[in-house]
């Protein structure tokens, strides 16, 4: 067993005055609904505010969060979401207009709470130098070109993200 006294936290300022290592957060954003776009962006902007280095890997439907047209039009599904903003019996979630209504209510909630919208969160994250990895496989599968994405994304595959995540103190899949 390692003697606890010999364990060094290199993210705390060492006594010799050397620069502490920055903590790192690696997130996977895999979902493209309005409600699921917020958690990775909230965690990323918070961690970057704490001084951490942050990278988010946007994959599958999560790639829509980086899509310069779709990221303004993310929807909130009421189907299969019993905790959604409109408490419909699940069977009615498939009725035309249910998704639009749930999306509208969610957007109103966010606005009333003075929460930034998704494009504003993206701008905040970029201002804090959060790295946006755009999943190259998703782009190929879904026919998304680099020019469809917002500026400043790193098109990368799983290995490049894992290379970043291997050095992270916290890794989360959302």
Partner 1 sequence: MTAPIDTSRIASTLDTSGLLCPLPVYKAALALKQIEPGQVLELVCTDPGSLEDIPALARQRGDVLLGVEERDGRQVFWLERGGAA
Give residues with Cβ within 8 angstroms of 87, minimum separation 6: none
Residue 114 binds partner 1, judged by CB under 8 A: yes
Using the rule CB under 8 A, which residue among 86, 105, 124, 170 binds partner 1? 124
Nearer of residues 109 and 173 to partner 1, judged by Cβ: 109
CA dihedral 77, 64, 26, 152 (to 10 degrees): -150
Phi then psi for 51, rounded to 5 degrees?
95, 5
Token pair of 124, please? 């905040």
> Residue 104, interface with partner 1 (CB under 8 A)?
no
Residue selected from 30, 33, 36, 45 as contacting partner 1 according to rule CB under 8 A: 45
d(CA 103, CA 109): 10
Residue 157 is a binding residue for partner 1 (CB under 8 A): no
Contact residues: partner 1, CB under 8 A: 13, 20, 23, 42, 45-46, 49-52, 113-116, 124
């Amino acid at each position: 067993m390692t003697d606890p006294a010999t364990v060094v936290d290199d993210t705390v300022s060492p006594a010799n005055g050397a620069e502490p290592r920055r903590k790192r957060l690696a997130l996977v954003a895999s979902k493209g609904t309005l409600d699921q776009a917020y958690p990775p962006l909230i965690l990323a902007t918070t961690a970057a505010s704490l001084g951490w280095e942050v990278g988010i890997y946007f994959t599958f439907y999560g790639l829509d969060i980086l899509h310069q047209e779709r990221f303004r039009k993310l929807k909130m599904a009421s189907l299969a979401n019993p905790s959604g903003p409109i408490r419909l019996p699940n069977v009615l979630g498939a009725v035309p207009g249910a998704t639009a209504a749930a999306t509208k209510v969610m957007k109103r909630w966010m606005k009333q709470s003075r929460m930034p919208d998704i494009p504003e969160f993206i701008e905040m994250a970029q201002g804090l130098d959060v790295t946006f990895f755009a999943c190259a496989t998703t782009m190929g599968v879904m026919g998304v070109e680099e020019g469809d994405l917002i500026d400043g994304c790193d098109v990368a595959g799983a290995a490049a993200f894992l290379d970043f995540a291997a050095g992270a103190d916290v890794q989360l899949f959302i």
